[in-house]
């Protein structure tokens, strides 16, 4: 079974629209970390956020915000007022205490196309 | 400061040949990870190193794959007798290690391997 599921394969929006990228994870651990990475067309993965399982506070960073809900095992990512430069593949990832946080499980990614 | 570097950036080889992919982690990062990303796919975890040792090699796809790390720094991923299905982008990441916690992984630009 997939440990991290990103059900949205590809999303297209028009600039200035808000968009939410879904991430659902599966773990038996009570201690784990969740991550979001951005992979622009250039290919290099860029770290966006890390969240541990004990911190359910939502986080906002500029136009980016993250909604962590343990009750639904989700860690969704919202981009407000999207821009063309946001076009990329976004990956959600999980690491668990069970593996001493040494293994990362990545979702299959969501490709975001922001059109002008 | 310098990020994770990988070489070569691109490698084209013939089926059956051996290839070596190199990763230089961020200075001071004791943990090093290798991933494979096939075209349009997510990241597949291959192996990680803590220092020079690799406690978990279960992610390596076959015995044609091996990896080593020397001096707690540079790592080499070797693929012997390459097959066409080995064609992918091989990504390296490094992180600091703190006991009982997970530091963020920082990724290199990847090596694009094409097996003809």
Query: Is A35 within 8 Å of chain B by CB?
Result: yes
Q: What average pLDDT does this structure show over A34-63?
A: 88
**Number of C-beta neighbours around residue A16 at 10 A:** 11
User: Which pLDDT tens digits describe chain B residue by residue (116 residues)?
Assistant: 579 999 999 999 999 999 999 999 999 898 899 999 987 778 888 998 888 888 778 889 999 999 999 888 999 999 999 999 999 999 999 988 765 566 788 899 999 999 99
B97: left (phi over 0), alpha (psi -120 to 50) or beta: beta
C-beta atoms of B42 and A50 within 8 A: no
Q: Which residues of B touch A109 (CB under 8 A)?
A: 41-42
Count how many pairs of residues, chain A against chain B, have C-beta atoms within 8 Å: 57
| Out of A11-15, A64-68, B56-60, B99-103, least confident range | B99-103
Contacts of A71 (CB under 8 A, 6+ apart): none
C-beta atoms of A109 and B106 within 8 A: no
CA quadruple B50, B9, B43, A6: dihedral sign:
positive
**Residue B98: predicted pLDDT:** 61
């Amino acid at each position: 079974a997939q440990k991290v599921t990103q059900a949205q394969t590809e999303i297209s929006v028009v600039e200035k629209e808000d968009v939410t990228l879904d991430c659902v994870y599966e773990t038996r651990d009570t201690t784990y970390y969740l991550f979001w990475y951005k992979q622009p067309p250039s290919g290099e993965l860029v770290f966006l956020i890390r969240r541990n399982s004990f911190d359910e506070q939502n986080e906002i960073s500029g136009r980016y915000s993250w909604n962590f809900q343990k009750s639904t095992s989700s860690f969704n990512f919202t981009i407000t007022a999207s821009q063309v430069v946001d076009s990329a593949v976004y990956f959600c990832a999980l690491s668990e205490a069970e593996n001493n946080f040494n293994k990362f499980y990545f979702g299959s990614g969501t490709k975001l196309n922001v059109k002008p | 400061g310098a990020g994770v570097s990988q070489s070569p950036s691109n490698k084209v080889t013939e089926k059956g040949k051996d290839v070596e992919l190199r990763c230089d982690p961020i200075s001071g990062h004791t943990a090093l990870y290798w991933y494979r990303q096939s075209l349009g796919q997510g990241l597949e975890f291959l192996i990680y190193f803590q220092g020079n040792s690799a406690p978990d090699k279960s992610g390596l796809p076959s015995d044609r794959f091996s990896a080593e790390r020397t001096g707690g720094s540079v790592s080499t991923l070797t693929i012997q007798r390459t097959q066409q299905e080995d064609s992918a982008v091989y990504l390296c990441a490094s992180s600091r290690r703190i006991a009982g916690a997970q530091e963020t992984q920082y990724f290199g630009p990847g090596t694009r391997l094409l097996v003809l």
